[in-house]
Amino acid sequence: MNDSNRYILTIKCPDRAGIIHRVAGALLEVDGNVLEQAQFTDEDSGVFCMRTKFESPVADLDAVRTVVNSRVMSLGPELTLRHEAEHRRAMILVSKHDHCLLDLLYRFGNGELPIDIPVIVSNHDHCREIADRYRVPYFYLPVNPDNKAAQEARVLELIEEYSIDVVVLARYMQVLSSDFCEKMAGRVINIHHSFLPGFKGARPYQRAHERGVKLIGATAHFVTGDLDEGPIIEQSVERVNHAHTTADLVEIGRDVERVVLSRAVRLFAEDRIILTGQRTVVFA
Amino acid sequence: MNDSNRYILTIKCPDRAGIIHRVAGALLEVDGNVLEQAQFTDEDSGVFCMRTKFESPVADLDAVRTVVNSRVMSLGPELTLRHEAEHRRAMILVSKHDHCLLDLLYRFGNGELPIDIPVIVSNHDHCREIADRYRVPYFYLPVNPDNKAAQEARVLELIEEYSIDVVVLARYMQVLSSDFCEKMAGRVINIHHSFLPGFKGARPYQRAHERGVKLIGATAHFVTGDLDEGPIIEQSVERVNHAHTTADLVEIGRDVERVVLSRAVRLFAEDRIILTGQRTVVFA
Amino acid sequence: MNDSNRYILTIKCPDRAGIIHRVAGALLEVDGNVLEQAQFTDEDSGVFCMRTKFESPVADLDAVRTVVNSRVMSLGPELTLRHEAEHRRAMILVSKHDHCLLDLLYRFGNGELPIDIPVIVSNHDHCREIADRYRVPYFYLPVNPDNKAAQEARVLELIEEYSIDVVVLARYMQVLSSDFCEKMAGRVINIHHSFLPGFKGARPYQRAHERGVKLIGATAHFVTGDLDEGPIIEQSVERVNHAHTTADLVEIGRDVERVVLSRAVRLFAEDRIILTGQRTVVFA
Amino acid sequence: MNDSNRYILTIKCPDRAGIIHRVAGALLEVDGNVLEQAQFTDEDSGVFCMRTKFESPVADLDAVRTVVNSRVMSLGPELTLRHEAEHRRAMILVSKHDHCLLDLLYRFGNGELPIDIPVIVSNHDHCREIADRYRVPYFYLPVNPDNKAAQEARVLELIEEYSIDVVVLARYMQVLSSDFCEKMAGRVINIHHSFLPGFKGARPYQRAHERGVKLIGATAHFVTGDLDEGPIIEQSVERVNHAHTTADLVEIGRDVERVVLSRAVRLFAEDRIILTGQRTVVFA
């Protein structure tokens, strides 16, 4: 049995008895063997979430999907099913700061990040050489007040054209329109350079320095129309002290940002994130 | 449905297709609803591990067990099943250092640690007042070369008498006999004051200071006949520097020790640890 | 030379060349030997901060002070000088949650916290037994809208009466008046149960849960009239996930709170904190 | 006053009263102003260590050195003094794993790492393209049992030729000879991919997996003739669990390794490490 017969299945639906039994029944029907399974029921909202990785001698995705659907469709689930080997496709948006982009591409290049990166978009031309090095098409779409809507429309076209599953804002310094955010809900990941909800908005390191915090952080979250308020995927912090200047915080922060963003992208790449309203269930 | 109808089930058996389906079928049969489920298959050894917390209108433990057994017994599993409300029972062994004992009792007292502590044993009389405060019987069993075997036999009697599930060595400074370790395999948790496998054996903080490490740690592990080599349950570290004396390391280490040990005991209390040879599967 | 001849000196003054030379000259004059010295100049404000621990054959504090003053008084410094063995004196204020109080007293009891705790005050009677165990006088000063001002005045009297250097709010659930905060500026340490500036104000764990953060934290800070906005002394965080309920966050948070508060109190006890406007210099 | 008049001075000598006063006197004589100063006396060995960063209107290094020497030479110190702007010079040795090399070069390129990297040496040709990108000469010196001594001699020649201060083993998979280690004592930094003293020697991630540790780590240390036993400069860890394969540990470990090594190199670049026997004083 080769890797193309490994599947990842996620289900979100209202909780009730017997869901796991139905799924397990479907897997048995395709001679499936569970390799990894996680389940969580949010007691507040009554939402059941599940992620299963299994292998099956049945190689045809549609055949497996038909069996699963026949068992669980009456539950009214949100369901995803795919071959593990058929990677999610990510578009990276970047401005001038290149550390997150470099980090994602490095992990992509060495096989650590199971995702495809078919296209990079930027409002600056700075990172073209990096994209070239990894042979990823690079679209330079400069943004000004007059062309902002048009350029965003162009991004949406590229998303369509390249069959993009997820847009990764790797320090992209443009606010996306509400319309864009709504269309792409749950499919745009941003890295914010603070430990949210502290220091929402601009210049978080400057403000962290002024406030005299003893730890700085970074937050990867889904983007919504409400700036820096989207569902959090991953966070981390690093210790700092009085002797660190704002410039020092920026440097230290780079290390936190790239690790947090790459973790979030990997969680997405492996279908480990399930959105439940304003919160995320992360099967890490 | 009250808490007494919440069950925790763990299964360990050789991996094969359909195990989850069988368990799910058993739960359906008792109108069970899964609250939390985790599964892991160790690809090296081919061992399947699973923990399920579920609720059922069936209040009778034996009735539930009969149904589960009828479905899974042919798998040759190691299986545990209990009412969540029927707590595991811990004996604490302690010498003079009282910080771990105090911490366990504090968490026990405020309901944070879902375990019963019916008895405390010590080779010193120092901690009696603490035991009295929590109204836990305290057995002072001083140990010397001549009575060591007899006192260990007495501990085994107390384990029997108090129906003890797990023995917690909360800085107990006596080495237990191989015989004792074998009899109680997988049921004795020790806290070692180093980040194992570094600094096995005596005086780890002194040796950490001499070696000039920049982090010190603590390790909670199951006890085996092979000193400080038992399966690891939990570890943590804290940053130190050149200015810290050995005495400072001891102080800093106390904080790490008590947190690591209490986490390990809680994991045991909630049936979240499954032993697979020299390693532990921890469904945290 | 015994411990009573160990001194701790701190100086804060506008930066200029030669300050360290003057202090070193003063120490030479009393045959002093530096054991530990740290210095920091805040480039934004031009404030010079220094902490020196030294030993001297001169046992008389006033004699040493005269020598130091003669060298540095023209700098217009804020200066503290004391025998290391003459401990700072802390009043602890507590409400019902006892974990921080217990932790401070435990460290005080085993000699880990070089501070005196001559008095405990509470608006509830719950923690009296704990105070009794450590033989610390316990004042029960219940607070309601009518007597709030009078009870605060009583606290100020007790501060006077017991020669208190620092007031520690160990989960004290009453807001202190601006007047009190101003009188005691730089001498009141609070533990806030969030990673400030996130979740200022009430019910931080509840809000952290709703926001779906992946780390929770605690912050020790000096109290000012501006709630939860005072200078930060110490912070720490712990990882959480979607499966943790608000009650779980409260439990996990307790561990963070007690460690952060005890670190802050110890830093104060050792004269390691120097206030520079809204920020702290911490010579850790 | 421009940056070229910023100096970094370090002194190590037997402890005695008045050292700080002497140094402060020297600085006054060159109209110096201390920007940052740290001091530590190791009570076990009686060794006094100090690092001072100061600015002075005197631009001539030799002039400043003469003044400092005249004041402190009688103490028999090990002393370093340099313009802050005159960077330490590092040779990087690498084999096939490029993550540490890339990380060092990235930080070097963006100005974060105040060091010069005039030459890279490798026993493989794999990383040449990376070196080219940063325009650093790359010497491919393949090693086999017959030419090992000759190639090491060649490395020493390059060290001479490029006036190298520090050799950084950025995952260099060759053991250096005792002779080399002795000649370069205190000037060769290695990254070991475990939390020393655990898992010394080969295949640490494999052994960490077998042992079932719950944290993995990395250690930057000075190289001595005694493999993986040299003085530790910096360490860090990352949490892992039972589900991580050895390959996962390698991936997670890469992040730890590159951060730990770059921190250690930066500490060296800023003259913040002072060796005291088997331990390091790190003025972080």
Taking an 8 Å cut-off on Cβ atoms, the answer to whether C36 and D36 are in contact is no
| D127-168 pLDDT, tens digit each | 999 999 999 999 999 999 999 999 999 999 999 999 999 999
So what's the pLDDT on residue C138? 98
* Residue C223 and residue C115 share a domain: yes
* Residue C52 and residue C131 share a domain: no
* Residue A20 and residue A125 share a domain: no
> What is the strand order of the sheet B188-192 is part of?
B138-140, B115-122, B88-94, B166-169, B188-192, B215-222, B232-239
So what's the pLDDT on residue B131? 97
Mean pLDDT of D78-96: 97
Taking an 8 Å cut-off on Cβ atoms, the answer to whether B99 and C112 are in contact is no
Query: B-D interface: how many C-beta pairs under 8 angstroms?
Result: 86
For C15, name the nearest residue in chain D, comparing CA atoms only: D33
| B80-110 pLDDT, tens digit each | 999 999 999 999 999 999 999 999 999 999 9
B195 → closest Cβ in D195, D231, D284: D195
| Best B110, B241, B250, B252 residue to mutate vs chain C (most C CBs within 10 Å) | B110
* Residue A39 and residue A93 share a domain: no
The whole-model pTM stands at 0.95
Mean pLDDT of A176-181: 96
* Residue C156 and residue C29 share a domain: no
C253 to each of C215, C239, C246, how far by Cα in Å? 10, 10, 10
Domain boundary among D50, D83, D116: D83
So what's the pLDDT on residue D40? 92
C278 → closest Cβ in A212, A245, A282: A212
So what's the pLDDT on residue A2? 52
* Residue D24 and residue D68 share a domain: yes
For C260, name the nearest residue in chain A, comparing CA atoms only: A214
Residue D121's domain is classified under what CATH number? 3.40.50.170
* Residue C115 and residue C13 share a domain: no
Q: Please, which pLDDT band fits residue A1 given cuts at 50, 70 and 90?
A: very low
**Structure tokens given for D223:** 């190289």
A41 interface with B at CB cutoff 8 Å: yes
Partners for A (CB, 8 Å, 3+ pairs)? B, C, D
So what's the pLDDT on residue B4? 61
pLDDT beneath 50, residues of chain C:
1
Taking an 8 Å cut-off on Cβ atoms, the answer to whether C36 and B243 are in contact is yes
Active site residue C165: no
| Best A51, A241, A255 residue to mutate vs chain D (most D CBs within 10 Å) | A255
Taking an 8 Å cut-off on Cβ atoms, the answer to whether B32 and A15 are in contact is no
* Residue D18 and residue D112 share a domain: no
Q: Please, which pLDDT band fits residue D1 given cuts at 50, 70 and 90?
A: very low
Q: Which positions of A are catalytic?
A: 228
Phi, psi of B172 (to 5 degrees): -95, 120
B106 interface with C at CB cutoff 8 Å: yes
Give the whole-angstrom CA distance, residue A7 versus residue A29. 14
D130 interface with A at CB cutoff 8 Å: no
So what's the pLDDT on residue C227? 84
So what's the pLDDT on residue C89? 98
Domain boundary among A22, A52, A83: A83
pLDDT beneath 50, residues of chain B:
1
Calculate the average pLDDT of chain A.
95
D220 interface with B at CB cutoff 8 Å: no
* Residue D155 and residue D71 share a domain: no
Domain boundary among A56, A83, A110: A83
- Domains of chain D: total: 2
What is the complex's ipTM, to 2 decimals? 0.94
D106 → closest Cβ in A36, A102, A112: A102
Which residues of chain C neighbour B255 with C-beta distances below 8 Å? Answer: 259
Structural domain that includes position D219: 88-282
Residue A74's domain is classified under what CATH number? 3.30.70.260
| Best B215, B216, B259, B283 residue to mutate vs chain D (most D CBs within 10 Å) | B215
D21 interface with C at CB cutoff 8 Å: yes
Which residues of chain B neighbour C106 with C-beta distances below 8 Å? Answer: 99, 102
Which residues of chain A neighbour C210 with C-beta distances below 8 Å? Answer: 278-279
For B55, name the nearest residue in chain A, comparing CA atoms only: A17
* Residue B170 and residue B121 share a domain: yes
* Residue A154 and residue A75 share a domain: no
Taking an 8 Å cut-off on Cβ atoms, the answer to whether D21 and C25 are in contact is yes
* Residue B247 and residue B192 share a domain: yes
Of the residues B42, B165, B228, B255, which is catalytic?
Answer: B228
- The amino acid at residue C166 is V
User: What spatial distance separates the first Cα and last Cα of chain D, rounded to whole Å?
Assistant: 26
Partners for D (CB, 8 Å, 3+ pairs)? A, B, C
Chain D: closest CA distance from residue A142 (Å): 24
Taking an 8 Å cut-off on Cβ atoms, the answer to whether A284 and C40 are in contact is no
C238 interface with B at CB cutoff 8 Å: no
Chain A: closest CA distance from residue D181 (Å): 32
Q: Please, which pLDDT band fits residue A152 given cuts at 50, 70 and 90?
A: very high
So what's the pLDDT on residue C99? 97
| A93-121 pLDDT, tens digit each | 999 999 999 999 999 999 999 999 999 99
3-class DSSP string for chain C: CCHHHEEEEEEEEECCCCHHHHHHHHHHHCCCEEEEEEEEEECCCCEEEEEEEEECCCCCHHHHHHHHHHHHHHHCCEEEEEECCCCEEEEEEECCCCHHHHHHHHHHHCCCCCEEEEEEEECCCCCHHHHHHCCCCEEECCCCCCCHHHHHHHHHHHHHHCCCCEEEECCCCCCCCHHHHHHCCCCEEEEECCCCCCCCCCCHHHHHHHHCCCEEEEEEEECCCCCCCCCEEEEEEEECCCCCCHHHHHHHHHHHHHHHHHHHHHHHHCCCEEEECCEEEECC
Chain C: closest CA distance from residue D255 (Å): 19
